[in-house]
Amino acid sequence: MKNLINFIIKYFSWFVFIFYVTISCMLLFDNNPYQHHVYLTSANRICSSIFSVFNNVTSYFHLHEINEDLHHRNAMLEMEVINLRNELADIKLMLPDSTFSSPAVHDYDFILAHVINNSISQPQNYITINRGSDDGITPEMGVIDHNGVVGIVNVVGSHSARIISLLNPQFRLSCKVKGHDYFGSMVWDGKDPYHAVLEELPKHVKFAKGDTIVTSGYSSVFPEGLIVGTIEEQVKDKNDNFFSLRIALSSDFTQLSTVRAIKNKRHDEIVKLSQEQASDRKEARK
């Protein structure tokens, strides 16, 4: 007994060391980002209040570029409104007695939020925003800015939330080339914050450089047709059955400021349906 106590005292530092290393490794190899606790991410109250202070200062830095961007986008949208109005008028002429409305748009709502912390140089990047569960943010909401897709909410505090950035290899986004129905999944290759790779596209289709990549709408997170980026070049996929496209991302992750979280009004319904389907399948197996 005495020897044991002596042994423990003698090597106490090693026990302390192993203890801390074990805790660190447990945190490090916890691969599921959706299960991180809110206190251990930047969505907690102290972090978000400090980031808000920083953001009050730094948010003025890129105002000029952001303004320019918004003007550009505004002009584009105005053009689109005019075009759509014309089209709608034409269609109404053709079908005078039908009530015309597109239900897909009304399924989604937006919550505006400011980015208070953002990283682009880590191998796995996250973004913190200043809206949380009190403002209606829930995990697994899609996040976009005025240029395109930004990420997906994963940890939510009461007044802040953490988003898995598109610049995170753990986030795969289902995308398609505008005008085609072929879809693939987009993932960041970790090289630079302006490009990502769209994988798993069929080999026989030819795509042109500069084509627009949009979300496929196959999940309830993002509506169909949100701009993600444009094709820059074709690259060979790791396995030879598919090929990949190198995408120039449309959102500038170095200058994120205001983002919108997408609230899908039918999210619960869709989740419930897929759960029912899963349980049905289980019963069928029995």
Partner 1 sequence: MLQFALLFIMMIIVQTICNHICIFGIAIPLVYIYFIVRLPINLSVNWVMTLAFFLGLTIDIFSNTQGMNALACTITTVLRRPIFSLYFAREDDLANPIPSIRTLGTGIYIKYLLSIVLVFNIILFFIQSFTLSNIVLTLLRIVASTILSTLLIFGIDSLDNTKREKRL
Q: Binders of partner 1 among 185-214, rule CB under 8 A?
A: 192
Query: Exactly one of 28, 89, 94, 105 binds partner 1 (CB under 8 A); which one?
Result: 28
Number of residues that bind partner 1 (CB under 8 A): 35
Rg (CA), the chain: 24
Q: Binders of partner 1 among 2-21, rule CB under 8 A?
A: 12-13, 16-17, 20-21
Structure tokens that stand for 244 in this block: 């990949």
Closest approach, Cβ 191 to partner 1, in A, equals 9
Q: Among residues 234, 182, 191, which one has the least CA distance to residue 210?
A: 234
Q: Binders of partner 1 among 253-282, rule CB under 8 A?
A: none
Closest approach, Cβ 49 to partner 1, in A, equals 12
Task: Decide whether 116 or 231 has the Cβ nearer to partner 1.
Answer: 116
Closest approach, Cβ 222 to partner 1, in A, equals 22
Closest approach, Cβ 98 to partner 1, in A, equals 51
Closest approach, Cβ 60 to partner 1, in A, equals 15
Report whether 97 contacts 91 (CB < 8 A).
Answer: no
Structure tokens that stand for 242 in this block: 């598919």
By CB under 8 A, tell whether 239 contacts partner 1: no
Q: How far apart (Å, rounded) are the C-alpha atoms in residues 48 and 169?
A: 24
3-state percent breakdown (helix, strand, coil) of the chain, nearest 5: 35, 25, 35
Residue 95 burial (CB count, 10 A) = 9
Place of tokens 């983002």: 259
Task: Decide whether 18 or 205 has the Cβ nearer to partner 1.
Answer: 18
Closest approach, Cβ 13 to partner 1, in A, equals 5
Residue 272: enclosing H or E segment and its boundaries? Answer: helix 267-285
Chain centre distance of CA 30 = 20
Q: How far apart (Å, rounded) are the C-alpha atoms in residues 113 and 128?
A: 10
Query: Exactly one of 8, 23, 75, 88 binds partner 1 (CB under 8 A); which one?
Result: 23
Stretch that binds partner 1, among 120-128, 205-213, 225-233, 234-242 (CB under 8 A): 120-128
Q: Binders of partner 1 among 134-163, rule CB under 8 A?
A: 162
Count Cβ neighbours within 10 Å for each residue of 31-49 and write b for 16 or more, e otherwise: eebeebebeebbbbeebbe
Strand partners, 110: 262
Task: Decide whether 196 or 226 has the Cβ nearer to partner 1.
Answer: 196
Query: Exactly one of 96, 123, 179, 210 binds partner 1 (CB under 8 A); which one?
Result: 123
How far is CA 267 from each of CA 226, 280, 284, rounded to the nearest angstrom?
A: 18, 20, 26
Q: Among residues 257, 273, 272, 264, which one has the least CA distance to residue 142?
A: 264
Q: How far apart (Å, rounded) are the C-alpha atoms in residues 204 and 97?
A: 44
Q: Binders of partner 1 among 30-59, rule CB under 8 A?
A: 30, 36, 39-42, 44, 47, 50-51, 54, 58
Closest approach, Cβ 121 to partner 1, in A, equals 4
Binding site for partner 1 (CB under 8 A): 12-13, 16-17, 20-21, 23-28, 30, 36, 39-42, 44, 47, 50-51, 54, 58, 119-126, 128, 162, 192
